[in-house]
Amino acid sequence: MVVCKTPRLLIEPSLATGICPGCGYGIIKRLLAEVLEELVIDEEAIGVYGIGCTGYVTRHFDIDWLWAQHGRAPASATAIKRLQPEKIVITVQGDGDLCAIGCSEVIHAAVRNEKITVFFLNNGIYGMTGGQMAPTTLPDQITTTSPQGKSPELAGMPMKMTEMISVLPVAYVARGAIYNPAEIRKTKGYMKQALEAQVNNEGFSLVEILSPCPTNWHMTPVKAMERIKNKVVPYYPLGEMVTKGGES
Ligand SMILES: Cc1ncc(C[n+]2csc(CCOP(=O)(O)OP(=O)(O)O)c2C)c(N)n1
Ligand SMILES: [Mg+2]
């Protein structure tokens, strides 16, 4: 018999998650709780989160959380980690938060090789505010601010923040997805490695996770998962980009 224990950190009643049906953030939340507990760092963890639906990841998640305005989570996390180096400091940020409105903060935290771990939840859209175009929106994707489809000529190609960070002197960088059990398992492995980099004092780590937003993509949850595999991954390839401070 497989025993599937709910992580101790997740204390919410099942109906109070806040997320839409089929949103990937529930899976990511579960993975985050599992990795913190499996690495036995759940007592030391402090989280900083941005504006947007990523806030739902923190709901009834039993660690201390600080809410930072758009994109400023890496700056706040820097302060917390420098003041309390024994803590494990993470950020949970959306693509609008991390790539658009607060774009510079994550880059400079990476340039400084701060010993923090960034979890970058990329659903290719401003989820919470009703599905506006983000720098991560794919060409031709219809959003509320690109009703004819995103024009690369006017708005650029999808921004590859994770690749940009991977050329900096950082400890660990990877991109995962959660569209099937095998990818969920791999993503969990990346999250673990990123946190281990911080435990071992190696420096900055980041894991981007491609996540579905069926509500704003106007798709069923199943179709949204298929879209990630067939449409999003070709732009955003999966895998590790930096391990052990650039040895990969
Ligand atoms: C300083 C500030 N600017 C803008 C907003 C409006 N706002 C709230 S959530 C959001 C979009 C967030 O998108 P993303 O980071 O991708 O998160 P998601 O909801 O998709 O998880 C915006 C623009 C705000 N709340 N605060
Ligand atoms: Mg988003």
70 CA: nearest ligand 1 atom: 1
Residue 18 confidence (pLDDT) = 87
Average pLDDT over residues 209-225: 98
Ligand 1 binding pocket, CB closer than 6 Å: 50-54, 69-70, 94-97, 101, 121, 123, 125-129, 134
Confidence of residue 32 (pLDDT cuts 50, 70, 90): very high
Given a contact cutoff of 8 angstroms between Cβ atoms, the answer to whether 136 and 99 are in contact is yes
**Is the C-alpha dihedral spanning 187, 62, 109, 83 positive or negative?**
negative
Identify the nearest ligand to the CA of 54 by its number: 1
For 39, residues 6+ apart whose C-beta sits below 8 A from its C-beta are: 192, 195, 196, 199
115-143, pLDDT tens digit by residue? 999 999 999 999 999 999 999 999 999 99
Q: Domain 25-242 sits in which CATH superfamily?
A: Thiamin diphosphate (ThDP)-binding fold, Pyr/PP domains (3.40.50.970)
Among residues 42, 46, 66, the alpha carbon closest in space to that of 55 is found at 66
Distance of CA 100 to the CA centre of its chain: 14
pLDDT given at position 242: 97
| Average pLDDT, rounded, for the chain | 95
Mutate to test the pocket of ligand 1, among 97, 123, 161 (most ligand atoms within 8 A of CB): 97
C-alpha span between 137 and 139 (Å, rounded): 7
Q: Are 67 and 47 in contact (CB under 8 A)?
A: no
pLDDT reading at 248 higher than 70: no
Q: Average pLDDT for residues 140-165, to the nearest whole number?
A: 98
Dihedral in degrees, nearest 10, Cα atoms 134, 136, 142, 147: 30
2, pLDDT greater than 70:
no
Q: Which atom of ligand 1 is nearest to the CA of 123?
A: 20
| pLDDT of 16 strictly over 80 | no
Question: Which H or E run contains 132?
Answer: none
Distance CA 67, CA 93 (A): 11
Residue 100: pLDDT band with limits 50, 70, 90: very high
Token pair listed for 18? 């806040």
Pairing mode of beta strands 64-67, 117-122:
unpaired
Lowest mean pLDDT among 84-88, 234-238, 244-248: 244-248
Q: For ligand 1, atom 21, name the residue with the nearest CA.
A: 53
Closest CA to 196 of 162, 229, 244: 244
Rounded to an integer, the average pLDDT of 146-157 is 97
What's the pLDDT tens digit per position in 35-80? 999 999 999 999 999 999 999 999 999 999 999 988 899 999 999 9
What residue spans define the domains of the chain?
25-242
Q: Do 128 and 91 contact (CB within 8 A), yes or no?
A: no
Quickly list H helices, the chain: 25-38, 55-58, 73-83, 95, 103-111, 152-155, 161-166, 181-199, 214-217, 221-227
